[in-house]
Amino acid sequence: MKKSLFVVSISSLLMLTSCDLLSTLEDAGKSIDDTGLTDSQIVSGLKESLTLGSKTAALTLSDTSGEVNEVTNEVTGYLANELLRILLPDDVERAIETVDLLKETTAGKTLLSAAGIDFAEYREAMVRGLNRGAENAAGLSVDVFKTAIKEMTFASAKEILFGDDSTGATNYLETTTSDVLVSGFKPVIENSLGSVKISALGSKYTFDDVWSKFATNFNKVADAYTKLVTTAESGNLLTAPAAQASLSMLENAGVSSVDPLNTNIVDYATEKALDGLFYMVSQQELKIRRDPVAALKDAAAFVTDTARKIIEQVFTSSEE
What is the average pLDDT value for the chain, to the nearest integer? 79
Count the domains in the chain: 1
CB atoms within 10 A of CB 26: 11
Q: What is the mean pLDDT of residues 113-137?
A: 90
For 49-58, the pLDDT digits (tens) are: 777 778 778 8
Phi, psi (rounded to 5 degrees) for 205: -140, 160
Poorest-pLDDT segment among 126-130, 147-151, 157-161, 249-253: 157-161
58 versus 65: which is more confidently predicted? 65
For 191-212, the pLDDT digits (tens) are: 999 999 988 778 899 999 999 9
Phi, psi (rounded to 5 degrees) for 88: -70, 150
Q: Is the pLDDT of residue 125 over 70?
A: yes
Q: What is the mean pLDDT of residues 22-31?
A: 46
> Residue 272 belongs to what domain range?
2-319
Q: Is the pLDDT of residue 72 over 50?
A: yes
Query: Can you list the alpha helix ranges (DSSP code H) found in 39-177?
Result: 39-62, 90-102, 106-112, 122-138, 142-150, 154-162, 168-176
Q: Is the pLDDT of residue 158 over 80?
A: no
CA distance to 39, 55, 181, per residue, from 296 (Å): 21, 17, 28
CA distance to 6, 60, 68, per residue, from 73 (Å): 12, 11, 6
Give me the count of residues in the chain.
320
pLDDT for position 252: 94
Q: Does residue 203 sit in helix, strand or coil?
A: strand
pLDDT for position 297: 61
pLDDT for position 286: 76
193 versus 178: which is more confidently predicted? 193
For 76-108, the pLDDT digits (tens) are: 999 999 999 999 999 999 999 999 999 999 999
